[in-house]
Amino acid sequence: MSNIPRILLAAPASGSGKTVITCALLRAFQKEGLKLASFKCGPDYIDPLFHEQVFEIETRNLDPFFLDENELRGILKKGSAGKDLSIIEGVMGYYDGLGGVSTEGSAYDVATKTASPVILIINGKGASVSLAAQIRGFLEFRKDHGICGVILNRVTKGMFPLLKTFLENELGIQVFGYFPVMEEAQFESRHLGLLLPDEVQDISARLDALADVCRETVDLTAIRKAAEAAEILSAPEAAEVTRTSSVTKTAELPEGTWQRKDCVRIAVARDEAFCFYYHENLDLLEARGAEIVSFSPLHDKALPEGTQGILLGGGYPELYAKQLSDNTSMRHAIRDAVTGGKPLLAECGGFMYLMRQMEDMEGNVYEMCGALPGKAWRTDRLQRFGYVTLTAQKDSLAGPAGTQIRGHEFHYFDTDLNGDVFRAKKPTGKREWDCMIATETILAGFPHLYYPSNPEVAERFLRRASGLSEADRL
């Protein structure tokens, strides 16, 4: 049983100000001297990067599609250890879940499964009394809504006291404060979401300004009290997440079979072009015996010494196509490592980097690694979007035919070599498609995989990287 002060920030819809207000609160509470943990609902990579790079707060994803209730609570407990306050940022509209017709996988789903109090962020621009009707709808839609109060966004200093009194009397919930319209609150976006933190001009100064306003207009003490009133959280004591649902076939590790002395050196691409990683994936690799060594396809000339396996995550290689192409020695090093049999996992942007050629955002074509013979190019719309369950159609590095693992896709680019070793199926509806290049040493494609949904996939990668055959015991 754990006492974890926590609050979840949600909204009626995307674009209501969740990310900006989450960042403002994180900075404001930092200025108050609190030790913070942060979390993001769903499969988002970019919002957590804001929390990590700007505030130096490690951020984890809480995703009910990938994790059951105990696992969600375990991730929350692990990330909150030793912290004064945990702030969870919601996703889309509060009740919006799988397929657009379910609450499963929504911020509400996370809130109920983690027993987290919820603050609803309401865009108050251009409305007054009607805000009560909107908020009441959220309170009455589900009895276990968990909403303890609201923050009003984009309202004036003069109007706020009137709205606060009216809404609290009308609805019986707390209005914690407000944010005025501020230029600092407008963060630029691109095709996959917000710009990355290091691309936003004067990001630290802008967030300091937001935090200063927040400390004046939001009752931080009241938010802390609401967070501290959260239900005592029961959660597993396990140090790592392992799924055991019917979706996967998880092999338990015999005690003492994979010792730290057996560490496998895994080179992980991490720079401006490749930055989309689940912490849970890297945690699982380390727990299974990986030594994670970061390298930069943009800036380094060679793979880290002693590399036994390679992980190329997603990101924005299309923004750095010329620089990646100009780094010939790294392209050749990766090509030679892959064609020479070093095991490799590559997702989305990393998959595109492996191709023979890739277009940039302007349609210019550049040479890439050439470890795969295809070409990647930009399209004018999302190609495949959302959660998927992947089922292997044949044996490969991932496991035997029938192996399943969960993930998600979100990309505007496409290739002429998407692969057919796995069949991707959406969790709702009938849409399916073939994907993934998979051999005895390569697992590459557009899907971002969530390793804890089938740890055996990660274990097989490490076994191969260590030089053990499938006949060898871990």
DSSP code string of 343-389: -EEEETHHHHHHSSEEE-TTS-EEE---SS--EEEE-SS-SEEEEEE
Query: Cα(370)–Cα(332) distance, rounded to whole angstroms?
Result: 8
DSSP code string of 266-289: EEEE-SSSEEE--HHHHHHHHHTT
- Sorted by sequence, the CB contacts under 8 Å of residue 127 that are 6+ apart come out as 134
Contact 248, 404 (CB under 8 A): yes
Q: C-alpha 77: how far from its chain's center?
A: 17
* Other Cβ atoms within 10 Å of 472 Cβ, number: 9
Hey, CA dihedral for 145, 147, 150, 154, is it positive or negative?
Answer: negative
- Measured at the CA of 410, the angle between CA 404 and CA 416, to 5 degrees, comes to 80
* Other Cβ atoms within 10 Å of 158 Cβ, number: 7
Query: Cα(474)–Cα(470) distance, rounded to whole angstroms?
Result: 9
User: Which pair of tokens denotes residue 225?
Assistant: 């009290």
Q: For residue 471, with 0-12 CB atoms within 10 Å meaning exposed, 13-18 middle and 19 or more buried, which class applies?
A: exposed
The residue annotated as part of the active site, out of 23, 41, 275, 348, is 348
Is 148 designated active site? no
Residues labelled as active-site residues: 348
